[in-house]
């Protein structure tokens, strides 16, 4: 517990007006009025669907003794005993308050942003740190993973109060090294403010979240905030040199005096010199800080080699032994739902599940799998509802251009009509490719059709879009559905 005055003193960089009429001891913080309890501070911030100021009375009724709100918000009449703190940026202030209230964080924290590869990169960084004998954890789309405390997936970047409470728990469990995904939403909404970062990585920027960000430039600026504001000047940036945004990030980092490392085929500190596919993955020749190494990476896909280099960069930037860290790449395992081999058809054909739900990601994974499909490459995919509609026809075109058979089905339709989503995907398919696709309303039925289309061990099935997810949201209801589990079940029944 902390007195409100102490919490405000520790988070004073955003500034707040007025002198406190009272100085309550706070029992907790919340962004959700329904979770308010006696002695809590309620942060009444504006959200995408509702304004927290509308729930102030409810929070007070439940016992809140302090309210954090924007300076210009008009509040209902409150009991004089309720302290109102007004701030120019209440989202940032509550994040800083959450960090101060929780107190503990792992000593070394690295954040990863970018459109694709965040989950794999934090997964790999945790593995490499662990191989060096360090107590490590990862936080992101897949959930929280550590030796002593784990939790299933929620938001890619949790709300700051939950996030800092989790980090304190990890620290108490002895975790010293943490890799965390930094989503554009989380960065834009200040959810990661208050993290004491040692390093940050940028993977790439491709079309995504344009239902939230007004433009690709705005999307990039949200990502760039990690380097322009959150990473301290004594930290290290690890940036994909093959990205067209590398130069812009270099300028930001150089202006702030941040050490700037690059990776990739054009990387300076972590360069991929050679990449040869093997039966079990790929053989890499890399140059790390001027020294050449050869390593067998047990993962399929050039993008996984790139993610592995990003993770390696973060580990070395935070003090990891270079030679031992490079050696650990030979024991990496793929992140769940990321180009994951989940089953084999009775013919011997492999079945992969991948989270690719964006045009560039779908194109990348199909191009990656193409050399492994000596026969037919079959893909099952759909697009989510209440998300960027512009990507739907793009993904239809990509799928039918790169696969031999495309089965268009439902993803998470949410509040939209599934048939309308599928129709938008189909609009992107050129007439001459219509014979190379099928439409299936049920995702389970679509997976069954995909399996039935496999004729020999040289064929391959990709089930794309949902990856690690274990539910399918239709309307307001989330139904149990796991692509990997369904594929194994149907492949087993077929055999």
pLDDT in tens, 335-389: 889 899 999 999 999 999 999 999 999 999 999 999 999 999 999 999 999 999 9
Question: What is the per-residue pLDDT for 494?
Answer: 47
CA end-to-end span of the chain: 59
Lowest-pLDDT range, 48-52, 100-104, 463-467? 48-52
Span 296-326, pLDDT tens digits: 999 998 999 999 999 999 999 999 999 999 9
For residue 51, the cross-strand partners are 46
- Flag whether 358 is marked binding: no
Q: Which fold has domain 103-331?
A: 3.40.1190
How far is residue 110's CA from residue 249's CA, in Å, rounded to a whole number? 17
Q: Report whether pLDDT(45) > 50.
A: yes
Question: Which residues pair with residue 477 across a beta bridge?
Answer: 474
Q: Is 320 annotated as a binding residue?
A: no
5 is in an annotated binding site: no
**What would the mean pLDDT of 169-197 be, rounded to a whole number?**
95
Fold of 340-494: 3.90.190
Is 118 annotated in some ligand binding site?
yes
Q: Is the pLDDT of residue 19 over 80?
A: no
Residue 13 vs residue 455, higher pLDDT? 455
Do 107 and 137 contact (CB within 8 A), yes or no?
no
Identify the pLDDT of residue 267. 98
Q: How high does pLDDT run on average in the chain? A: 93
Does the annotation place 414 within a ligand binding site?
A: yes
With a cut of 60, say whether residue 15 has pLDDT above it: no
Whether 455 has a binding-site annotation, put simply, is: no
Tell me if 138 is assigned to a ligand binding site.
no
**Is 440 annotated among the ligand-binding residues?**
no
**116 annotated to a ligand binding site:** yes
pTM of the model: 0.84
Distance CA 83, CA 417 (A): 46
Instruction: Tell me the sheet residues that pair with 236.
Output: 199, 259
> By CB neighbour count within 10 A (0-12 exposed, 13-18 middle, 19+ buried), where does 4 fall?
buried
Domain ranges of the chain: 2-91, 103-331, 340-494
The tens digit of pLDDT for each residue in 234-250 reads 999 999 999 999 999 99
Name the pLDDT band for 149 (thresholds 50, 70, 90).
confident
To the question of whether residue 115 is assigned a binding role by annotation, the answer is yes
186 appears as a binding residue in the annotation: no
Whether residue 412 is annotated as binding a ligand: the answer is yes
Q: Is 242 flagged in the annotation as binding? A: no
Architecture of domain 2-91: 3-Layer(aba) Sandwich (3.40)
Q: Percent of the chain scored above 70 by pLDDT?
A: 96
Per-residue pLDDT averaged across 464-492, rounded? 95
pLDDT tens for each residue of 413-424? 999 999 999 999
33 is in an annotated binding site: yes
Residue 96 known to bind ligand? no
pLDDT (average), residues 55-73: 95
Alpha carbon of residue 163 to chain centroid: 14
Tokens of 245: 């945004």
Distances (CA, A) of 21 to 24, 68, 82: 10, 14, 9
Mean pLDDT of 187-213: 89
Q: Which of 53-57, 218-222, 277-281, 314-318 has the highest mean pLDDT?
A: 314-318
Q: Residue 157 annotated as binding? A: yes
Q: Tokens 């309307």, residue?
A: 475
344 appears as a binding residue in the annotation: no
């Amino acid at each position: 517990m902390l007195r409100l005055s102490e919490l405000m003193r520790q988070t004073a960089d955003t500034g707040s007006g007025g002198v406190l009429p009272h100085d309550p001891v706070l029992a907790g913080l919340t962004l959700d009025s329904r979770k308010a309890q006696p002695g809590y501070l309620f942060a009444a911030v504006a959200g995408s669907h509702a304004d927290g100021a509308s729930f102030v009375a409810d929070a007070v009724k439940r016992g809140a003794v302090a309210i954090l709100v924007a300076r210009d918000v008009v509040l209902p009449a409150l009991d004089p005993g309720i302290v109102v703190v007004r701030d120019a940026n209440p989202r940032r202030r509550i994040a800083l308050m959450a960090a101060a209230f929780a107190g503990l964080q792992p000593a070394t924290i690295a954040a990863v942003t970018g459109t694709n590869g965040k989950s794999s990169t934090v997964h790999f960084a945790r593995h490499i740190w662990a191989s060096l004998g360090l107590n490590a954890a990862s936080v992101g789309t897949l959930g929280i993973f550590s030796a002593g405390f784990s939790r299933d997936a929620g938001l890619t970047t949790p709300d700051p109060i939950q996030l800092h409470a989790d980090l304190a728990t990890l620290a108490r469990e002895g975790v010293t090294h943490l890799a965390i995904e930094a989503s554009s939403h989380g960065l834009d909404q200040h959810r990661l403010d208050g993290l004491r970062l040692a390093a940050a990585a940028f993977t790439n920027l491709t079309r995504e979240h344009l239902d939230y960000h007004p433009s690709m430039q705005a999307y990039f600026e949200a990502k760039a905030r990690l380097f322009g504001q959150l990473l301290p000047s004594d930290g290290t940036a690890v940036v994909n040199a093959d990205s067209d945004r590398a130069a812009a990030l270099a300028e930001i980092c150089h202006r702030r005096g941040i050490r700037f490392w690059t990776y990739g085929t054009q990387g300076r500190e972590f360069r991929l010199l050679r990449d040869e596919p093997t039966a079990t993955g790929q053989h890499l020749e890399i140059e790390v800080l001027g020294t050449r190494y050869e390593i067998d990476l047990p993962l399929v896909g050039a993008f996984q080699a790139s993610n592995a280099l990003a993770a390696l960069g973060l580990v070395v930037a935070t003090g990891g032994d270079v030679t031992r860290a490079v050696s650990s790449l030979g024991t990496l395992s793929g992140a769940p739902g990321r180009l994951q081999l989940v089953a084999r058809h009775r013919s011997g054909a492999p079945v992969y599940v991948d989270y690719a739900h964006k045009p560039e990601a779908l194109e990348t994974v199909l191009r990656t799998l193409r050399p492994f499909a000596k026969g037919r490459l079959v893909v099952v995919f759909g697009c989510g509802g209440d998300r960027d509609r512009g990507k739907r026809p793009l993904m239809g075109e990509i799928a039918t251009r790169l696969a031999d058979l495309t089965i268009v089905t439902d993803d998470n339709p949410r509040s939209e009509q599934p048939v309308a989503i599928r129709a938008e995907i189909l609009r992107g398919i050129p007439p001459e490719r219509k014979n190379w696709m099928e439409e299936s309303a049920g995702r389970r039925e679509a997976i069954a059709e995909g399996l039935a289309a496999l004729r020999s061990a040289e064929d391959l099935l990709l089930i794309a879009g949902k990856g690690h997810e274990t539910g399918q949201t239709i309307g307001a209801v989330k139904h149990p559905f796991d692509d990997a589990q369904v594929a194994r079940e149907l492949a087993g029944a077929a055999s």
